[in-house]
Amino acid sequence: MPLRLSLRATTTIPLELDQVTPERLAGLSAAQIERLPIRHGNRNAALADWFEVSGEADDLQLEFTGEGLASLHGVGCGMTRGSIQIAGDAGRHLGARMSGGEIRVAGNAGDWVGAEMRGGLIHVGGNAGDAAGCAYRGSPRGMLGGTLLIRGAAGAEVGRAMRRGLIAIGGDAGDALGYGLLAGTIVVGGNLGIRAGANMKRGTIVQLGSASPTLLPTFARACHLRPTFWRVLTRHLRQLRFPLPDETEDREFELFKGDLLAGGRGDLLTGIAG
Amino acid sequence: MQIGTTQIEDTFAEAFRMRYVRVIVTAHDDYWAETAARSFTGFASSVIACDVEAGIERRLSPAETPDGRPGVACLVFGFSIEGLAAAVPTRAGQCLMTCATTAVFDGLGATAERIPLGKHLRFFGDGFQQSKVIGAERYWRIPVMDGEFLVAESLGVEKGIGGGNLLLEGKTAGGTLAAARRAIDAVEDLPGIIAPFPGGVVRSGSKVGSRYAQLKASTNEHFCPTLRGRVTSHLAPGANCAYELVFDGADEGAIEGAMCAAALAAADEGVLRIGALNFGGRLGKFHFHLHKLLAADV
């Protein structure tokens, strides 16, 4: 039986939950869990001040329920194992720096989802804000591993300085996707914003949408291609139950190499209609 | 013991511990997948003089392959991990990477022992190669003239068995050859088994050593019908032809299944006797006794 945390009341002030992860709660009694410190804005609070706690945490499963879950920030931050389910929206820094386990959000997620994550799986059922899988400001590397799946659209700067791992976005992506990408794979089911892949060194960006992207002049067209790795990747995404259009597997792409200002070793693949 | 009119000799096949990898080759269509696999498993009949023993395990439908294209599963056996590590990347580089549209995947998954594949082949990319991690697997994408050659970074290695065998002794060459074909057809779709010789059939059965010091093996004169009268013949009375079927398998069950299926398919009135070859039990740790194997079926 999972540990269920039901939000007692809505608040517009952030509730910081970065200390509340499955492995930290495992082995604690109900009373100890209720006394766990959290932050409400600039004030200290106990978990039970804001949540009704039921169930057990020993099986490393947490569930967040209630109205106004978008005010919960840092959920699953740094988690190493276990699972977290959020029956609604989630706030900022969801699963940031996590290295293992699984987070599933039924609704939307805020900014910085999966920022600098190292492993594990995050599945966002709706849209995500800016800077998903990103490096924090001043940090040389963003996502270092794991899988970030966003069924809806995503904001700007997704995967900035990403070094390893997979980000898949079902809808459109905002501007500067994959800025400074070091390696790894970003798949966009919709269309790219401007400056996609700017300063990318290696790695792969895939656009499935039919719009012609406005690429930087430092991307050079290479060829039409049906890459074999894409066939393997689509199967992997389908195993993760990430929705992809029919016939995606055998899709033909136009390959661009870039960013030539950063060595030109990155791949940007854009879908070819029909 | 008899199967119909065919005598089953009270003897055993003697087999050896080997290591093996399963290589999955995919391509644009069946033709290119088969072409690549046949080239990759060529000159790999026996470790007497080949670097490995290899063969096609079975054809794979698109639903069974990692990239959704037609494929072929090949098994490659060697006496050591080091031997496989030397032979398999070389063969893959010359026979799979060069073949149009192919990709190469590991067919064994997570194993304790592994050998490099793409980890070595990637250098053909001359710095233009790219790695791609998908799930738990790392692949290498090597640019080639029809696009990219995708190859798994490494292959899992498991313990297997080499040298399971049957000896078919018949009245006529034609009848014995037909029996051998039936036997090999019967094991073609069995999992975890290959028959590495041409068509799965050996006509040059060998013994260890030779009167010529430089040879590791030489013809087994006791089973050559043309030498009957000159040397002691071990052929069944009336036999004018013998063929050996050799099986390498993933485990004892695979070898046993293949030997049973082959013996049952081969037996008919043209086959006087079905036996097996061994070294008196002195060399191989696996002994497959024909009467014990076939007891349930006869």
Q: What is the pLDDT of residues A1-23, one digit of tens each?
A: 899 999 999 999 999 999 899 99
pLDDT of amino acid A274: 52
Whether A227 sits inside 8 A of B147 (CB atoms) is: yes
Residue of A165, A229, A231 lying closest to B68 (CB–CB):
A231
B-chain residues near A227 (CB < 8 A): 141, 147-148, 150
Domain ranges of chain B: 2-14+162-294, 18-158
Which class for B171: exposed (0-12), middle (13-18), buried (19 or more C-beta within 10 A)? Answer: middle
Q: What is the mean pLDDT of residues B35-51?
A: 96
Length of chain B: 298
Q: What is the average pLDDT across B279-288?
A: 89
With cut-offs at 50, 70 and 90, classify the pLDDT of residue A226: very high
Complex ipTM over 0.85: yes
Whether B140 contacts chain A with CB within 8 A: no
- Determine whether the interchain pair A185/B141 forms a contact, defined as Cβ–Cβ distance below 8 Å: no
Indicate the pTM of the whole model. Answer: 0.92
B31, two tokens:
């033709």
Q: Do B134 and A228 touch (CB under 8 A)?
A: no
Give B242's pLDDT tier (boundaries 50, 70, 90): very high
Q: Which residue in B26, B69, B150 is closest to A229 by CB distance?
A: B150
* The pLDDT of residue A1: 84
Chain A contact for B150 (CB, 8 A cutoff): yes
**Considering CB atoms only, which of B26, B68, B132 is closest to A229?**
B132
- Interface A-B, measured as beta-carbon pairs within 8 A, has a size of 51
User: How close A254 gets to chain B, by Cα (Å)?
Assistant: 12
| Closest alpha carbon within chain A to B28 | A228
Report, as an integer, the average pLDDT of B271-279.
Answer: 94
List, for residues B190-236, the tens digit of each pLDDT value.
Answer: 999 999 999 999 999 998 899 999 999 999 999 999 999 999 999 99
Query: A267 contacts in B (CB within 8 Å)?
Result: 130
For CA atoms A257, A261, A265, A269, the dihedral sign is negative
Task: Please name the residue of chain B whose CA is at the shortest distance from the CA of residue A267.
Answer: B130
| Cα A170 to Cα A181: distance, rounded to the nearest angstrom | 20
Q: What is the pLDDT of residues A85-135, one digit of tens each?
A: 999 999 999 999 999 999 999 999 999 999 999 999 999 999 999 999 999
Show the CA angle centred on residue A41, arms to residues A22 and A9, nearest 5°: 70
- Exposed/middle/buried for residue B5 (C-beta within 10 Å: 0-12, 13-18, 19+): exposed
Q: Which CATH number fits domain B18-158: 3.20.20.70, 1.20.1070.10, 3.40.50.1860, 3.30.70.520?
A: 3.30.70.520
Query: What's chain A's average pLDDT?
Result: 96
Who contacts A14 (Cβ-Cβ below 8 Å, separation ≥6)?
A39, A40, A41, A71, A73, A91, A92
A121 closest CA partner among A173, A83, A75: A83
Chain A hits for B150, CB-CB cut-off 8 Å, are: 227-229, 232
Q: Which two tokens stand for residue A83?
A: 């699972």
| Spacing of C-alpha B23 from chain mean position | 13
**Strand A61-65, strand A51-54: pairing:** unpaired
CATH of domain B2-14+162-294: 3.30.70.520
How far apart are the CA of B68 and the nearest CA of chain A, in angstroms?
Answer: 7
B29 in contact with A at a CB cutoff of 8 Å? no
Look at residue A273 and tell me whether its pLDDT is greater than 80. Answer: no
The confidence score (pLDDT) of residue B19 equals 98
> What pLDDT digit, counting tens, does each position of B148-186 carry?
999 999 999 999 999 999 999 999 999 999 999 999 999
Domains B2-14+162-294 and B18-158 share a fold: yes
Q: Of the given ranges (A92-96, A116-120, A248-252, B17-21), which has the lowest mean pLDDT?
A: A248-252
A-side interface with B, Cβ within 8 Å?
A: 164-166, 183-185, 202, 204, 223, 225-229, 231-233, 235-236, 239, 249-250, 265, 267
From the CA of B136, how many Å to the nearest CA of chain A?
10
Q: Which of B130, B134, B150 sits opposite A236 (nearest CB)?
A: B134
Residue B279's pLDDT is 85
